[in-house]
Amino acid sequence: MKTNKVIMQVVQNVIAWMVSLTVLIPLVVIFISSFKTEAESYTLTLGLPKKWMFENYSVVVERGKLLGSFFNSFTYASISTLIIVVLSTLAAFVLARNKNKRNKIIYYFLVLGIAMPVNYISLMKVLQFTHLINTRIGIILIYAAFALPISVFISYGFIDTIPRELDEAAIIDGCTPSSLYFKIVFPLLKPIIATLFVLNFMSTWNDFTMAIYFLNESSKWPMTLAVYNFFGQYSTQWNLVCADIVLTCIPVLIVFILGQKYIVSGMTSGSVKE
């Protein structure tokens, strides 16, 4: 019985390591290769570079015109995230607090968007009509619009947990609806705002589809599209492609490490019964 238990323990640990290595190895190979010479990175292996080519990174930044793309990605991700946080918490606040028939219809209408696939081609028509196609503001609004359903859903569930007595006290003390929201409720929403921020920043930063459909000037491209284009031009120089990949991943990895607990709480809200 005892030896059986020990064997089980060993087997479990071995499986865990095998799975983790399957995830880690590709990432490590890319990271190591980003410091190799062109010849050495021709084959992708786990071998360490003979000479560490740190200059690969400066070459990539220059040739891939990454500074501009980095700025674009950062602008798109932060501004659209800001819009999402304000609009979705504002909406969730009134919809969750006042569940009359009209508000319920509005809520379900918005949340329906979670499962709805995008119709890219007719979206293009709408963007042409509103003169938003191929513009920075257009792509920011697209990111914000498509992230609204899930964000409203997450905020709605959270606002339901804040006691309504607070609002009543504030109203008796003479708060207007907007000061009630901004002074009393908004500060209490910190955890959910962190979640919305982390999830939306990452998904906007990582987006590729919207950019490839709706941005056709390279000066407006986000990092993902710039990397893809770079890969098209230098597909045999894996050292440079790898350095480009690493640079694109760094911001989301930082957000991931800093915001880990908010990611998990955001993902599980609604899908795990407390």
Partner 1 sequence: MDRNKTYPWYFASGALLLFFILCFIPSVIGVFYSFTDWNSFSDKVSFVGFDNFKTIFIGDKSYLTFIGNTVYFTVFTTALKTILGLIFALLFTRGIKLANFHRMVIFSPQVLSYLIVGLVFKGMLHPSTGFLNIFLDKIGLDFLSNDWLGSIKYAFPAVMAVDTWKGVGYGMVIFIAGIQGIPESYYEAASLDGAGFMQKTLKITLPLLMPTLIMTTVLNVTYGLRVFDIIYVLTNGGPGYATDVMNTAVFKEFSRGNYAVGTALSTLLAVFTMAISYFILKALNKKEEY
Given 7, 43, 55, 161, the residue binding partner 1 (CB under 8 A): 43
Q: In the 8-state DSSP scheme, what is residue 36?
A: S
Q: Say how far apart CA 88 and CA 153 lie, in whole Å.
A: 9
CA distances from residue 145 to 148, 149, 165, 215 in whole angstroms, order as listed: 5, 8, 32, 17
Output 16 or 67, the one with its CB closest to partner 1: 16
Given 94, 162, 184, 188, the residue binding partner 1 (CB under 8 A): 94
Output 3 or 178, the one with its CB closest to partner 1: 178
Q: Is 145 exposed, middle or buried (0-12, 13-18, 19+ CB in 10 A)?
A: middle
Closest CB 120 distance from partner 1, rounded Å = 6
Question: Does 48 participate in binding partner 1 (rule CB under 8 A)?
Answer: no
Please list every residue from 21 through 40 that binds partner 1, using CB under 8 A: 22-27, 29-30, 33
Please list every residue from 108 through 167 that binds partner 1, using CB under 8 A: 109-110, 113-126, 130, 141-142, 144-146, 148-149, 152, 167
Question: Does 7 participate in binding partner 1 (rule CB under 8 A)?
Answer: no
Closest CB 9 distance from partner 1, rounded Å = 8
* Region near partner 1 per CB under 8 A, out of 10-18, 51-59, 62-70, 189-197: 10-18
CA distances from residue 12 to 4, 20, 25, 164 in whole angstroms, order as listed: 12, 12, 20, 48
Question: Does 1 participate in binding partner 1 (rule CB under 8 A)?
Answer: no
For partner 1, how many residues bind (rule: CB under 8 A)?
Answer: 99
Cβ atoms within 10 Å, residue 63: 14
Q: Which helix (H) or strand (E) holds 239?
A: helix 238-268
Q: Say how far apart CA 7 and CA 171 lie, in whole Å.
A: 64
Please list every residue from 177 through 236 that binds partner 1, using CB under 8 A: 177, 180-181, 202, 205-209, 212-213, 224, 227-228, 231
Closest CB 219 distance from partner 1, rounded Å = 19
Closest CB 163 distance from partner 1, rounded Å = 14
Q: Say how far apart CA 150 and CA 154 lie, in whole Å.
A: 6
Output 52 or 208, the one with its CB closest to partner 1: 208
Please list every residue from 61 through 90 that binds partner 1, using CB under 8 A: 83, 86-88, 90
Label each residue of 185-232 as H, E or C: HHHHCHHHHHHHHHHHHHHHHHCCHHHHHHCCCHHHCCHHHHHHHHHH
Closest CA to 252 of 219, 224, 220, 228: 224
Q: Say how far apart CA 180 and CA 167 lie, in whole Å.
A: 7
Question: Does 42 participate in binding partner 1 (rule CB under 8 A)?
Answer: yes
